[in-house]
Amino acid sequence: MPGSTTTAALERAVHRYRRAPLAARWSVHGRAFLSDLARIEEYVPRHGFVVDLGCGDGLFANLLAEASPRRRILGVDIDDRKIAVARATIAGRDALRFEVSDIVRVPPPRCDAVTIVDVLYLFAPEDQERILRGIADALAEGAPLIVKAQEARIDPRYALTYAQEVLSASLGLTRGARSRFHFAPRETAMAMFGRAGFRAEAVEMRSRPYTDVLYLARRSPAA
């Protein structure tokens, strides 16, 4: 369970959206309630330059900023409407930036840590691996990559995970979402992290009715 400090930081992050368009406010409240963001935040280094890939409306980036003033954060997303919502929350804070970019084509800048929350499943396996390789180039040996994902497995939770994404895509909530998703079984994901230059461990997250997994990866020594 996240501590009360992180939960308070999440409340402050959500409050940053009080003047956002209604649909964005709903989405942010839903993500805050359903996505275990406070738990993920606790694995992110407290200081340094953190890049959040596929940041959406920027809620997790805002949480990172609220939870530790010693972080500098860049959020990146392909959806310019979401980046506009995210930018409107900055309110003069220099430590937080948002940019429109395609994370498959453009690797992140050199940084101290990378986070990816509920994004990788949108990409075909070769693009997922390409993203991870780009991240490996941006991180020093031992630096962390924190990926929240859902794993494919024979489980009613997986049926629910998939159905929710189909619904979300059909409502047009996720740009880049196609009719097919690419949730990987855990062994496949672990092998991909290894090939891309990471040592990873998986932490299961069972607080939601989905097959949520947190992959805690660290940049391996260069071969």
Ligand X SMILES: C[S@@+](CC[C@H](N)C(=O)[O-])C[C@H]1O[C@@H](n2cnc3c(N)ncnc32)[C@H](O)[C@@H]1O
Q: Which residues contact ligand X by CB under 6 A?
A: 31, 35, 54-56, 59-60, 77-79, 82, 102-104, 117-119, 122, 174-176
CB of 101 to ligand X, least distance (A): 6
Q: Specify the residue, 101 or 220, whose C-beta has the smaller distance to ligand X.
A: 101
CB of 184 to ligand X, least distance (A): 16
**In Å, how far are 67, 113, 160, 189, 195 from 153, measured between CA atoms?**
33, 29, 12, 12, 22
Report residue 126 as tokens: 């070769």
Q: From the CB of residue 169, how many other CB atoms can be counted at a distance below 10 Å? A: 18
**Residue 58 burial (CB < 10 Å; 0-12/13-18/19+)?**
buried
Q: Specify the residue, 14 or 136, whose C-beta has the smaller distance to ligand X.
A: 14
Q: Specify the residue, 182 or 199, whose C-beta has the smaller distance to ligand X.
A: 182
Q: Specify the residue, 42 or 141, whose C-beta has the smaller distance to ligand X.
A: 42
How far apart CA 145 and CA 122 sit, in angstroms, is: 18
CB of 148 to ligand X, least distance (A): 7
